[in-house]
Amino acid sequence: DAMVIQNPRYQVTQFGKPVTLSCSQTLNHNVMYWYQQKSSQAPKLLFHYYDKDFNNEADTPDNFQSRRPNTSFCFLDIRSPGLGDAAMYLCATSRSVRFSAAEQYFGPGTRLTVT
Amino acid sequence: GNSVTQMEGPVTLSEEAFLTINCTYTATGYPSLFWYVQYPGEGLQLLLKATKADDKGSNKGFEATYRKETTSFHLEKGSVQVSDSAVYFCALEAGTALIFGKGTTLSVSS
């Protein structure tokens, strides 16, 4: 089945130690998104790729970076995780950057713990 | 700015009860509106959507109507099942982003 896969499902890192989360998709969608979801809060968009074009949300901290080496893969890099970065990180894909009621497909998420 | 407000949870119901989860929004213009559902251990899935005023989205017995006059998109189901237990998110389209509500946890017991 076509899907969005996130690895690992659970990640523990130390304060200040760089960490990378990965996302892959078999849907061949041109847009990929990263959301951050803290406990009991709404998912919040960090950035997205439209094809190879990177689009950062204005309030996304510089500590968060992303890479998309090809259509199928997208990575979230946290350069120096702080305790406040502990959250669920959700990857999503869609067929076009303009929704026009287009559907976003989400992966299961990676839960990041910072010790 | 754009925002979505959902009713606080958790919502606890018995099987076959009627469900309403309230959602109101603030937005510029008339964005598309969505309900997503997150089952335990899984990612968010689109449940239904509406693209313009008075549209009714429906799926799996769930319905929601886009009400421009009340800026609302309430989710309803006539008879819930145990398998409907999940977290429900209301969302609106805002350019390249989805703006989500905080989610409402539904727990259905047999």
Backbone angles phi, psi at B53, to 5 degrees: -55, 140
CA distance A105 to B44: 7
Residues 6+ apart with CB under 8 A from A93: A4, A25, A27, A29, A31, A32, A33, A104, A105
* A81 at interface of B, judged by CB pairs closer than 8 A: no
Question: Does the distance separating the beta carbons of A107 and B93 come in below 8 Å?
Answer: no
Question: Does the distance separating the beta carbons of B43 and A109 come in below 8 Å?
Answer: yes
Q: Percentage of chain B with pLDDT > 70?
A: 100
Does residue B58 register a pLDDT over 90? yes
Q: Percentage of chain A with pLDDT > 70?
A: 93
Q: How far away is chain A from the Cα of B11, in angstroms, using its nearest Cα?
A: 15
Report CA-CA distances (Å) from A16 to A52, A60, A78, B22, B47: 29, 18, 9, 41, 38
Give the one of A4, A42, A101 whose C-beta lies nearest to B43's C-beta.
A4
At residue A101 the predicted structure's pLDDT band, cuts being 50, 70 and 90, is very low
A22-56 pLDDT tens trace: 999 999 999 999 999 998 788 899 999 988 988 88
Average pLDDT of the segment spanning B48-74? 96
Question: Does the distance separating the beta carbons of B51 and A42 come in below 8 Å?
Answer: no
Supply the pLDDT for residue B41. 77
The DSSP output letter for B27 is -
Give the one of B43, B97, B100 whose C-beta lies nearest to A108's C-beta.
B43
Supply the pLDDT for residue B94. 81
